[in-house]
Amino acid sequence: MSGALLVIDGEAVNNSRFLFVFAATFMTIQIAESRVERLVVHRVGNATRGEPLQLSERTTEVDDEVSSLILSGYLRGVVSDKKKHQFFHETDLNLNEVYHFSRQFFRGEIDFLALSQRLARHLHARSQHPNISAGDLFVIQFAGLSDGERELRALGVFKSEVRDDFLSIIESGEVFDIRHASGINPKLIDKGALILENGPLVYAVDRGGQQAKFWLDDFLKAMRVPDASTTTRMVASVVEQLSEEIVDPMEQARFKDEFLAACQNEEEMSAGQVGAIAEKFVPKEQVNQAFDAAAESYGFGVDEEARLPAQNMAKRLEKSLSRYGVGHGISVLLPAGITLKNIQSVNDGEGGLTLTLNLNKRD
């Protein structure tokens, strides 16, 4: 897997088999005292369908009620460790448009309206996939966020593609009428990003999933920052895949036993240790391909030296590693703590097959 280059402090790092684990290097953002400073809305169509880009020429007035909805919906909905990403570019991070425009604003080189218009133009230019819907682009300046030591500014960029239908009750004297209304639900974010003033960290979300990944890949150009739980789940999926690819039942059993023994003997394991165990049973190229496929699926790679909780990984794999293929398309599920010692297969010549499994109890 060739991958992109991640640029950190001016140095390019290849996104191949293993990537860095960034989570430990980023602060926890506090938003309890946050407030909306300014907001502007642009309408962004799909360029391939000839839909126009409609730019606002002024910011929008925001009252307390609207501000409260934005803070409780958009802001709280995007700030989460599971939504941490990092801006990247193949050659130079400053060539990442969203990162570059936001840095210009935070340095005072362009004003808020100019920033929002540049972001809207960039989004319109990247809206080239037929599945991309037209929508309203909200660009919001937040203040009052904190990293625990100082107050931070941030930019919110949210695209709303879906309008919900509502019933509105209108009171007139002693009569209550019902009217249809449509609007935007700020608690259901279609696409969103929160860009902090002090680095390449960005919180990002895209409810479109795999159907149109342009928001993360093309517009933001942001790579997911994994947390410990997600990284453990990703490496566990590699172990599971490699186990299934070991054809010989006894070799598969030995792989599982060695992996589980390592988990029992260590509080933490590295991705490199997992790879080293696997390479005793399958070719190194096959191990690399499994890590590459997992990185593609999860949206991030993992540092070879990243330390992962061994017991959590073993527990996550407990059921799958208790299933053993015994040949002839047959698999058995053994109780926890029981492993396969050997298999005896007898064909009676009349279509009958007898399998004898010798089991061991793990220490």
Of residues 24 and 188, more confidence is placed in 188
Query: Does residue 329 carry a pLDDT above 70?
Result: yes
Which own/partner contact pairs does 177-183 have at CB distance under 8 Å and 24+ positions apart?
none
CB 341 within 8 A of CB 361: no
Reading the block at residue 130, the tokens are 């037929």
Lowest mean pLDDT among 75-89, 190-204, 253-267, 341-355: 341-355
The whole-chain average pLDDT of the chain stands at 83
Distances (CA, A) of 287 to 17, 153, 185, 276, 311: 10, 43, 45, 9, 22
Can you say whether residue 89 is alpha, beta or left, with left for phi > 0 and alpha for psi between -120 and 50 degrees? beta
CA distance 167 to 151: 40
For 227-239, the pLDDT digits (tens) are 778 888 889 999 9
- What DSSP designation does 57 have? S
What is the structure's pLDDT at 362?
A: 67
Residues 245 and 219 in one domain: no
Please report whether residue 336 resides in a domain.
Answer: no
Domain's final residue, options 209, 224, 239: 224
Domain end position, chosen among 204, 224, 244: 224
Please check whether residue 43 lies inside any domain of the structure: yes
Q: Are residues 42 and 65 in the same domain?
A: yes
Spatial distance between the Cα atoms of 1 and 295, rounded to a whole number of angstroms: 9
Residue 238's pLDDT is: 92
The answer to whether position 350 is within a domain reads no
Average pLDDT of 337-343?
A: 77
Burial 235-255 (b: 16+ CB within 10 A, else e): bbbbbbbbbeebeebeebbbb
Same domain assignment for residues 217 and 247: no
Predicted pLDDT at 198: 82
Split into its structural domains, the chain has a count of 2
355 domain residue, yes or no: no
Domain match, 128 and 269 both: no
Whether residue 273 sits in one domain with residue 219: no
Q: Which domain holds residue 318?
A: 228-326
Supply the pLDDT for residue 74.
Answer: 87
Instruction: Answer yes or no: do 311 and 265 share one domain.
Output: yes
Rounded to an integer, the average pLDDT of 260-265 is 86
What sign for the dihedral angle of Cα 9, 11, 16, 19? negative
Query: Could you tell me if residue 298 is inside a domain?
Result: yes
The DSSP secondary structure of 180-234, one letter per residue, reads: EEEE--TTS-SEEEEEETTSSEEEEEETTTTS-THIIIIII-EEE---HHHHHHH
In a domain, 11, yes or no: no
291 part of a folded domain: yes
**What is the distance between the alpha carbons of residues 174 and 358, in angstroms, rounded to a whole number?**
82
Report DSSP letters for 1-22, one per residue: ---PEEEETTEEEE-SS-----
Nearest to 69 by CA among 5, 19, 138, 146: 138
Q: What is the pLDDT of residue 276?
A: 94
pLDDT of the residue at 339: 75
257: how many CB neighbours lie within 10 A of its CB?
Answer: 15
Provide the pLDDT for residue 168: 81
Contact 122, 219 (CB under 8 A): yes
Joined together, the tokens standing for residue 119 give 């972001």
Instruction: Render pLDDT for 2-29 as a digit per residue (tens, 0 to 9).
Output: 333 444 333 334 443 333 334 334 457 8
Cα separation values, 47 from 117, 161, 221, Å: 16, 15, 19
